[in-house]
C-alpha cells in the first residue's frame, strides 16, 4: 500500500535524526511523494504508532523525544536536575552587555543600569530554552561572559538568596526565538518570568525563560488545601 511505502521511506530518514527535529509539513510531504494528504497522514500515524515521531498543534510532526522536565518545588537550576537524570546540560551565551535597564526591569530591580545576558540552554545538544537574565550592574561588575556560560547566577552573586517567584504563561514563538530554538514562528512556547530576591526581600535578578512547548514540561506538587478544583496560583490574564 502507498502509505506503507511512504512510511518506509520516512523511516530510513529518521535513522540518526536528533530528537525533536521537525519533519517537513504534510503539504510538503504530499507534494514530494505525489500522494494525498490523507495518505501522507496515514503514513505518519504509522510511524507515530511505532514511537518514532509525534505531533503537536502548532508544530506539526517531529522526531519523538523525552521532554525536559523541571520540578518547581524549590529554587534551583534546571541544569542540576538534568545532570541528576544523566542528561548533559550546556549553556551558550548569545549576548552579554552592561546597559540601561528596560522599563519593566527597572521597575522591579529599582536600578538604572544592569547586566543583560541572553543565552541558549541545551540538553544533550538539543535546544530547549532561550533565557534572558537582568542583574543590577553593581552586583555583576566582576562577571565575565565566560563566568555566566559556565555557572548559574545563583553561584556567582555575592548575596544570600531567599527565593524566587515564577509566572508561567503560554505564548507564540517570535521570529528571533523560533530561529534559535529551531521551531516554527508562532509555534506554542511556555514563557516564564522569574524574580529572585535576596534575604532582605530585595529583587536581585529578573529572568525570562522561553521553552518550546513540545520539548518541556513543569511539575508542581500541590498540597491539599481548601476544597477546590483550581490549582493555587492560577489567575486570569486580561
pLDDT tens, position by position, 119-168: 999 988 888 899 999 999 999 999 999 999 988 888 899 899 888 888 88
Residue 81 has pLDDT above 90, yes or no: no
Q: How many residues does the chain have?
A: 238
127 and 105: one domain?
yes
Q: CATH number, domain at 201? A: 3.40.1410.10
Average model confidence (pLDDT) for the chain? 85
Among candidate residues 195, 221, 217, 215, the one with its CA nearest the CA of residue 206: 195
Q: Answer with the one of 15, 37, 63 that is the final residue of a domain.
A: 63
8 and 98: one domain?
no
Parent domain of 36: 2-63
Domain assignment present for residue 121? The answer is yes
Q: Is 95 exposed, middle or buried (0-12, 13-18, 19+ CB in 10 A)?
A: exposed
Looking at the structure of the chain, the number of domains it has is 2
Q: CATH number, domain at 29? A: 1.10.10.10
Q: Angle 191-197-199 (CA atoms, 0-180°, nearest 5)? A: 155
CB 62 within 8 Å of CB 55: yes
113 and 165: one domain?
yes
164: enclosing H helix or E strand: strand 161-172
CB within 8 A of 14, min separation 6: which ones? 47, 52, 53, 63
Domain assignment present for residue 227? The answer is no
20 and 78: one domain?
no
168 and 139: one domain?
yes
Backbone angles phi, psi at 129, to 5 degrees: -165, 140
Residue 17 has pLDDT above 90, yes or no: no
189 and 140: one domain?
yes
CB within 8 A of 169, min separation 6: which ones? 190, 191, 192, 237
Between CA 216 and CA 66 the distance in angstroms is 9
Residue 46 has pLDDT above 90, yes or no: no
Domain assignment present for residue 122? The answer is yes
pLDDT, position 22 = 80
Amino acid at each position: 500500500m502507498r502509505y506503507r511505502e511512504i512510511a518506509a521511506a520516512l523511516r530510513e530518514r529518521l535513522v540518526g535524526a536528533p530528537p525533536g527535529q521537525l519533519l517537513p509539513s504534510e503539504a510538503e510531504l504530499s507534494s514530494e511523494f505525489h500522494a494525498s494528504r490523507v495518505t501522507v497522514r496515514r503514513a505518519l500515524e504509522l510511524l507515530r504508532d511505532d514511537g518514532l515521531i509525534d505531533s503537536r498543534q502548532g508544530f506539526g510532526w517531529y522526531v519523538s523525544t523525552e521532554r525536559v522536565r523541571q520540578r518547581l518545588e524549590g529554587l534551583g537550576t534546571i541544569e542540576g536536575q538534568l545532570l541528576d537524570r544523566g542528561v548533559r546540560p550546556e549553556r551558550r551565551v548569545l549576548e552579554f552587555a552592561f546597559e540601561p535597564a528596560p522599563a519593566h526591569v527597572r521597575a522591579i530591580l529599582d536600578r538604572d543600569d544592569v547586566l543583560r545576558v541572553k543565552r541558549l540552554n541545551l540538553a544533550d545538544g538539543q535546544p530547549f530554552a532561550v533565557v534572558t537574565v537582568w542583574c543590577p550592574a553593581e552586583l555583576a561588575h566582576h562577571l565575565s561572559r565566560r563566568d555566566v556560560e559556565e555557572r548559574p547566577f545563583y553561584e556567582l552573586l555575592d548575596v544570600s538568596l531567599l527565593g524566587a517567584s515564577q509566572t508561567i504563561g503560554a505564548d507564540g514563538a517570535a521570529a528571533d526565538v523560533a530561529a534559535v530554538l529551531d521551531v516554527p514562528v508562532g509555534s506554542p512556547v511556555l514563557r516564564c518570568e522569574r524574580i529572585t530576591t535576596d534575604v532582605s526581600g530585595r529583587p536581585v535578578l529578573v529572568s525570562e525563560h522561553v521553552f518550546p512547548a513540545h520539548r518541556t514540561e513543569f511539575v508542581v506538587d500541590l498540597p491539599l488545601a481548601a476544597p477546590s478544583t483550581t490549582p493555587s496560583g492560577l489567575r486570569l490574564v486580561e
